[in-house]
């Protein structure tokens, strides 16, 4: 099987997008309009928390720090340390 090389900048960009998506879902959940919307937002947030945990665990600490720097809650909050969620 051929291993595909993914440039590190692409990994960082995708990881930062996951961080922002998780935070956006938290904001949207606070004003959810229906049970369906709540369900979809929680499922989406859960999926990307899981993917972000795996990504951060697989990367060197300095690259993980670059990804987590996308968090608006850099001083703390649910995305700062995804292993706690």
The whole-number pLDDT of residue 70 equals 84
Average pLDDT, the chain: 85
Report DSSP letters for 3-71, one per residue: PPP--HHHHHHHHHHHHHHHHHHHHHHTT--SHHHHHHHHHHHHHHHHHHHHHHHHS-HHHHHHHHTT-
What CA–CA distance (Å, rounded) separates 64 from 17?
A: 13
Question: What percent of the chain clears pLDDT 90, i.e. is strictly above it?
Answer: 69
pLDDT at 51 over 70: yes
pLDDT at 12 over 50: yes
For helices 61-68 and 35-58, angle between their N-to-C axes, nearest 10 degrees: 150
């Amino acid at each position: 099987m051929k291993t595909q090389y993914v440039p590190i900048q692409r990994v960082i960009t995708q990881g930062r997008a996951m961080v922002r998506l998780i935070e956006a879902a938290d904001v949207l959940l606070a004003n959810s309009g229906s049970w369906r919307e709540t369900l979809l937002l929680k499922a989406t947030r859960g999926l990307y928390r899981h993917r972000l945990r795996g990504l951060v665990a697989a990367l060197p600490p300095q690259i993980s720090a670059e990804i987590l720097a996308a968090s608006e809650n850099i001083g703390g909050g649910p995305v700062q340390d995804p292993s706690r969620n």
